[in-house]
C-alpha cells in the first residue's frame, strides 16, 4: 500500500435545489517524499478533494489511508495551505506561524519552539515582516506565511489548494521558484492542487488530471521525467516537458468533450 492511499472517494452536496455530485470515485496514491499535483478545470471539485483528504469534510464513500492509519478527522499530520491563505488577521506573521508550531510541538520547550518558528519564517524569506499583520502584507507575502504555517505542522503530507491562484503572474512565478527551493530543502510529501498545467509540471513528480465535474474522477497519473533542479526557462524546450504537457492537455480537452 502506498504512503497515502485514496480509494473510491465520492462526495455529493445536497442543497435545496437538488443533489450535486462533485466527486464520483477518486483514486489517488502518493509515495513518501513524493510531490504529486492534481490538475483540473476550475469548479471541477479540486477543493472538495483537498477538504476530504484534510478531514474537514466527510466523504459519502471511499477510504483515505495515510501511513497505515485511516483518516476520519482533521489533524496537523495533513498540513494544509488554503487557497484564501486563511491567516488569522489579528495575529502577526510570527504568531500565525507559532500557532501551528506550538500546536504540534507541545512537548518541546518554549525556546525550541521559538527557534523552529524563526527558522520557518527565514525559510520563506519573511524575517523582516515577522511582526506585521496579514493586512499589511501583499498577497505573495501572505501566501508565504501560509506555506510556513503549513510546513510548521510538520505534516506527513502537505496539502496545497491552488496556493498561487490568487496571485499575479510575476509573484506566482517567484513563489513557484521558492516552493521548488523549499521542497528541495525539506523533501516533504506534497499534494498540490492547481489549474495551471505548467505549474504542475514545474513542481511535481507525477500529475493526476481531473475530469470536469459533476462526478469528477482522476485520470491515470502522468510522470514528469524532468531532472531536478528544474528551471522554468529551459524546461519548455525539453522533450520530457512536451510529453507531459501534451498528455495532460489532451486528457483535459477530451474529458471536457466527454470522450475520456
Partner 1 sequence: MSPATIRKIVLPGLGMVAVLVLWTAISQTVAHDLPSPAKTWTESRRYVLEPFFKDGEMNQGIGRLAFYSLVRVAKGFALALLLGTPIGFLLGMSKTFHESFDPIVQFLRPISPLAWLPLGLVIFQKSEPAAIFTIALCAMWPTVINTAVGVRSISQDYLNVGRVLKLSRWKMLTKIIVPASLPYVFTGYRLSLGLAWLVIVAAEMLTGTPGVGGFLWQEYNSLVYSHIILSVITIGAIGLFLDRLMGLVEARVKTG
Cα–Cα distance measured from residue 52 to residue 22, given in angstroms and rounded to the nearest whole number: 12
Of the ranges 14-22, 41-49, 83-91, 119-127, which one interacts with partner 1 (CB under 8 A)? 83-91
User: Which residues 6+ apart lie within 8 Å of 210 measured at CB?
Assistant: 38, 39, 40, 41, 44, 45, 46, 49, 216, 217, 218, 219
Residues 6 or more apart whose Cβ sits within 8 Å of residue 49: 9, 23, 26, 38, 193, 210
How far is it, in rounded angstroms, from Cα 41 to Cα 21? 16
Binding flag, residue 46, partner 1 (CB under 8 A): no
Asked if residue 80 binds partner 1 (CB under 8 A), the reply is yes
Q: How far is CA 194 from CA 62, 103, 111, 166, in A?
A: 23, 28, 37, 11
Which span sits near partner 1 by CB under 8 A: 39-47, 82-90, 184-192, 214-222? 82-90
99 belongs to the binding site for partner 1 (CB under 8 A): yes
- Single residue of 9, 66, 100, 226 touching partner 1 by CB under 8 A: 100
Residue 153 as a binder of partner 1 (CB under 8 A): the answer is yes
Nearer of residues 133 and 232 to partner 1, judged by Cβ: 133
Task: Determine, following the binding rule CB under 8 A, whether residue 84 of this chain makes contact with partner 1.
Answer: yes
Comparing CB distances to partner 1, the nearer of 42 and 84 is 84
Q: Which of 8, 25, 62, 76 binds partner 1 (CB under 8 A)?
A: 76
Amino acid at each position: 500500500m502506498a504512503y497515502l492511499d485514496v480509494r473510491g472517494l465520492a462526495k455529493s452536496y445536497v442543497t435545496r435545489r437538488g443533489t450535486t455530485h462533485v466527486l464520483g470515485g477518486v483514486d489517488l496514491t502518493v509515495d513518501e517524499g513524493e510531490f504529486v499535483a492534481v490538475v483540473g478545470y476550475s469548479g471541477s471539485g479540486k477543493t472538495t478533494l483537498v477538504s476530504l483528504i484534510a478531514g474537514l469534510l466527510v466523504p459519502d464513500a471511499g477510504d483515505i489511508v495515510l501511513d497505515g492509519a485511516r483518516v476520519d478527522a482533521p489533524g496537523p499530520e495533513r498540513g494544509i495551505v488554503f487557497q484564501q491563505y486563511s491567516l488569522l488577521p489579528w495575529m502577526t506573521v510570527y504568531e500565525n506561524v507559532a500557532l501551528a508550531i506550538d500546536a504540534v510541538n507541545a512537548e518541546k520547550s518554549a525556546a525550541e519552539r521559538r527557534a523552529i518558528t524563526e527558522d520557518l519564517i527565514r525559510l520563506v524569506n519573511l524575517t523582516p515582516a515577522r511582526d506585521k499583520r496579514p493586512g499589511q502584507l501583499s498577497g505573495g507575502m501572505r501566501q508565504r506565511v501560509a506555506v510556513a504555517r503549513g510546513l510548521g505542522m510538520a505534516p506527513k503530507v502537505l496539502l496545497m489548494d491552488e496556493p498561487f491562484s490568487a496571485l499575479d503572474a510575476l509573484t506566482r512565478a517567484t513563489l513557484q521558484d521558492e516552493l521548488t527551493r523549499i521542497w528541495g530543502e525539506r523533501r516533504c510529501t506534497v499534494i498540490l492542487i492547481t489549474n495551471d498545467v505548467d505549474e504542475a509540471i514545474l513542481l511535481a513528480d507525477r500529475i493526476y488530471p481531473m475530469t470536469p465535474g459533476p462526478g469528477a474522477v482522476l485520470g491515470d497519473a502522468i510522470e514528469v521525467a524532468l531532472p531536478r533542479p528544474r528551471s522554468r526557462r529551459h524546461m519548455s524546450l525539453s522533450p520530457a516537458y512536451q510529453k507531459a504537457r501534451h498528455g495532460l492537455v489532451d486528457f483535459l480537452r477530451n474529458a471536457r468533450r466527454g470522450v475520456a
